[in-house]
Chains A and B, each alone.
Chain A
Amino acid sequence: MRIRYAKYRAAILCFFIILCCSISFSSAVRTVMTTPENTAASPLEYLLELDGTISEGNSYGEVLSIDGKPIAAEIESEEGESKFCGVEGYTHIVGSPSGGLIYACRNILLANDNSANRLLHQGNSIVTTIYSVGMKAATEQLEEFDDSETSAYICVVLRDGAVLVAAGNNVYSPEAFFSPDDYEDLYIDYTGWNTSKGSTFKPLTLRMLLLEDDSLDEEYSLYNRSFKDYNTVTVNGDTISNWDCEISGNYTTDEGNGVFSRELDLSQAIQFSANTYVLRHADKLGLETTYNKMNDLYFLDKTLCTEINELSMNEVSPNRLHYLPWGQDAYLSSVELCALYNYAFGGDYSIPFYCARVVRPNGEVIYNASPQPIKDKSFSIDPREDILSNALADAFKSYLTEEQQDKFSELVSSRRILAKSGTADLADEAVNRVMVLTVLNEDRTQVVCTACMCIDHTFDYNISNGYMIEKIINVLESMQII
């Protein structure tokens, strides 16, 4: 019996074994032929063909400023626990494995390539766009804002989108990385935070209106040098006033019922920061149309993904569209605001970025940022002839005291600096103070960069425009931009 069926048994067993091997092999082939999913990868990881997996065993690669200074290091707690974190002054940008650039780019910083990294257990290094000289200068300028309720910050964004400076008055303590609950603002990059930027939003609305100037009649054309501006207007049932609505000396005509008027050109409207001027022009075009065209032009309703954060303006409620054109409901980050200024006065829109290069442990550069403006968004502009650019250059001079005008006489006379201030009222009577400076090149044909300083939630109403301008200029001078 046993011998009789032995051959059949052996055949059945072998068939079973070969079947199992075949199933496994076909499964393996199917797996190999399947393209790995890249759903978890960030855009930069995708570009570098990393699939979002984390290499826990490697040590982090270096994080460097654009001028080669290490801005992250391994730190040790009193209990001996160690973490790879941003060094002082960079914690809010660089962060740690729980936040900031290290968190967002951990796959890049931990990934290795065996051919480049045979004997080291180190990930790739990232050269950021952050310029340590500018960061140091900006941090020094912010030192006096040590009030924990006031957030003060400065950012500088180049024309191509490179974020050179993103400094804040954040608290720093190495221990904060080990007990983050005690230092809540450690990781907060204020420059990427949405806050109301007030009147600094007006030039963006005005640029859009200028591009749409043909749609407006002669009276409402921004080239109209004698536009009748009222101190207060009512739109959608809400009364909107100029900040100087009660200073009758600023107005030439009493229209009765507490309404005053004056004749303004664009430059004067910018210097007076006239809310009603911008609002009435927008209303003439149509508030919804204005909102839609602003979105089309500036991607305000889209999210801009950088390597370390996502930038998007807060959504505007349909029944508050009349608060947007003059900036009251314009909640956006200062980095995005700078990028939009570069666009509004340079004509090319480039998305902000923080990673300039990714370098393998053996020095091979595997990624080199080559920012390209979004072509179909570009428009032609000559800042020398541009009415809005000139208006902001006039505003720069008007913001300075006589003493400052003497001090910065070269900048004033060259008309290279375009400035706009902003003040946003907050619910608890505090204000956000904002100053934006756009720097043109020496022959005023191109934008170089835009810098922004914000002092959020301050009760100090005496912060002057000149004071903020001086601080920004100090930062720009430290980097030899001006």
Chain B
Amino acid sequence: MTAFGVVFTVIVMARTTYFTGAGERFVIHLTGAIICGVIVALAYKMDVPERVKSAACLMTTLTIANMTAIPMLYFTSGFSTEEVSGVASDTLNCLLLTCGGLVGGILLMYFMSTLNNRRLSSLSIVLTVVTLLLAFIVLLFSDRSSGTSIVFGVQVALPGLILMILCSAVATHVNRGRQFLCLGAASVLAGTIVFRNEMGVPTMFLAAMMVWYLFFAAKHDRILTTMCLMLPVVAAAGLLFFKKFGDEMSGVFVEKVMSRVFAEEVQHNVYSQRSLQQSGLFGSSNYIYMPEASSDFSLITIAHYLGLIYLSIVLIIVAVFFNTANAELINEKKPNTDITSTIAEMSLCMMTVIIIYNILMCLAGFPIIGVQMLFTGTSNMVSILSGFLLGCVCFSSSAVEKTRKKINEIGRELL
């Protein structure tokens, strides 16, 4: 895997540098490659769980590919200069933000691991207030014309997603009253985001919680389990219903569903197919008109420039990562009753749902509901979210403790 990483990195760096004809691009890639190399080296050198190693591979594979493919949009595609100039320059920035999110996730988990029940109970109140405040901000200040929950240029649905995960995780460790408050606040925020025409994040949150409940929850209620199992069936039936009768119905919600998911002018699936057809096994750098390249369909952009072989490697790494992480988190020797395990489980479910749905959306023509592949694209918020979720999944208290001791030792030696 390491050998593949080295060869792959060199090839993509040379390729992008050639096509862009810009030497500074090589420096940017080298920087990105070094950062990713350090992460992979640390993951393999330190005594960490297996899931951390496969997570480092997944992150490296996707971020390096992202840094390679997205800038090529500017030089080889038909996108306008204005459309892609920002896209091309932001990929290194996204890697740095991903690393920031990763460290942030690990620190938050470390902080959570130090909380006792009383403090956790207080934290639930704080989280409830912050979540409701965010819902209030989304309601009042979001840009209604954008079709997403953007407030002052920031896509708040993604930090909102982090808050919703934390609320849900804390809710499983507090008394029933606080539980009601936390889940209520998360629901209000999700509902507000839906009200502001953003469907992807709330849908993914609901799906992730469903997966968590079915596969990770310590106790199961028969009715709730049945509801969780029925939910995908109901969603699929709803989509089929809209597809068949949506044209004859009216209303804002119907229009939103029809325009975003089924409308003919949403040509992303067609463009995805064209893009993949041109990519072949080893990628193409020919003229192409690609779908929403910088966000939801960034995986297609990457696959177009790097080919089907790269795509298959990503899919294998995704499968390996989830297999390892699931096995390690579910198959503990003792039940996971601490808050950090719950957050890790929910984060893993969130990653699973987002990555798998995005793959299905890009490659298998699933309805487009605004779900971006983690570690790719040029959205700062998605980069932070990707790093944060990975940090939560990979958090290992023993590894953090060892690292903390090591840092202390180095500090003492230096002093």
- Residues of A bordering B, CB below 8 Å: 2-3, 6-7, 9-10, 12-14, 17-18, 20-21, 23-25, 27-29, 31-32, 34-36, 50-51, 53-58, 110-115, 118-119, 121
Whether B363 contacts A2 by the Cβ 8 Å rule is no
Please indicate the chain A residues that have their CB under 8 angstroms from the CB of B278 in the complex: 36
Whether B315 contacts A6 by the Cβ 8 Å rule is no
Assess whether B64 is interfacial by the CB under 8 Å rule. Answer: no
Please indicate the chain A residues that have their CB under 8 angstroms from the CB of B332 in the complex: 6
Assess whether B173 is interfacial by the CB under 8 Å rule. Answer: no
How many B residues are at the interface, by size bracket?
35 or more
Q: Contacts A20-B360, A21-B359, A34-B277: A113 and B77 contacting too (C-beta < 8 A)?
A: no
Please indicate the chain A residues that have their CB under 8 angstroms from the CB of B281 in the complex: 32
Q: Which of B271-304 contact A (CB under 8 A)?
A: 273-274, 276-281, 285-289, 303
Whether A13 contacts B211 by the Cβ 8 Å rule is yes
Whether B21 contacts A119 by the Cβ 8 Å rule is yes
Whether B326 contacts A10 by the Cβ 8 Å rule is yes
Tell which of B78, B274, B277, B331 touches A10, judged by Cβ atoms closer than 8 Å.
Answer: B331
Bound Cα distance A119, B72 (Å): 11
Whether A3 contacts B277 by the Cβ 8 Å rule is no
Report the minimum CB–CB distance from A74 to chain B (whole Å).
Answer: 15
Tell which of A10, A20, A53 touches B289, judged by Cβ atoms closer than 8 Å.
Answer: A53
Assess whether B188 is interfacial by the CB under 8 Å rule. Answer: no
Whether A17 contacts B75 by the Cβ 8 Å rule is no
Whether A25 contacts B75 by the Cβ 8 Å rule is no
Please indicate the chain B residues that have their CB under 8 angstroms from the CB of A10 in the complex: 215, 326-327, 330-331
Assess whether B203 is interfacial by the CB under 8 Å rule. Answer: no
Whether B280 contacts A23 by the Cβ 8 Å rule is no
Pairs across A and B, CB under 8 Å, 25 listed: A3-B334, A3-B335, A7-B330, A10-B331, A13-B326, A14-B319, A17-B318, A17-B323, A20-B359, A21-B315, A21-B356, A25-B312, A28-B308, A32-B276, A35-B277, A54-B289, A55-B78, A55-B287, A57-B79, A58-B78, A112-B76, A114-B19, A115-B19, A115-B285, A118-B75
Q: Per-residue CB proximity of B203-225 to A under 8 Å, as 1/0?
A: 00000000100111010000000
Whether A53 contacts B274 by the Cβ 8 Å rule is yes
Bound Cα distance A17, B215 (Å): 13
Considering the complex, give the chain A residue whose CB is closest to the CB of B328.
Answer: A10
Considering the complex, give the chain A residue whose CB is closest to the CB of B318.
Answer: A21
Q: Enumerate the 9 nearest inter-chain pairs by beta-carbon distance, A residue then B residue, closest first.
A: A55-B78, A114-B76, A24-B363, A57-B80, A10-B330, A27-B364, A31-B276, A21-B315, A53-B289
Considering the complex, give the chain A residue whose CB is closest to the CB of B327.
Answer: A10
Bound Cα distance A275, B334 (Å): 107
Q: Contacts A21-B315, A31-B277, A32-B281: A114 and B289 contacting too (C-beta < 8 A)?
A: no
Please indicate the chain A residues that have their CB under 8 angstroms from the CB of B274 in the complex: 36, 51, 53
Considering the complex, give the chain A residue whose CB is closest to the CB of B275.
Answer: A31
Please indicate the chain A residues that have their CB under 8 angstroms from the CB of B319 in the complex: 14, 17-18, 21
Assess whether B311 is interfacial by the CB under 8 Å rule. Answer: yes
Q: Which of B306-344 contact A (CB under 8 A)?
A: 308, 311-312, 315, 318-319, 322-323, 326-327, 330-335
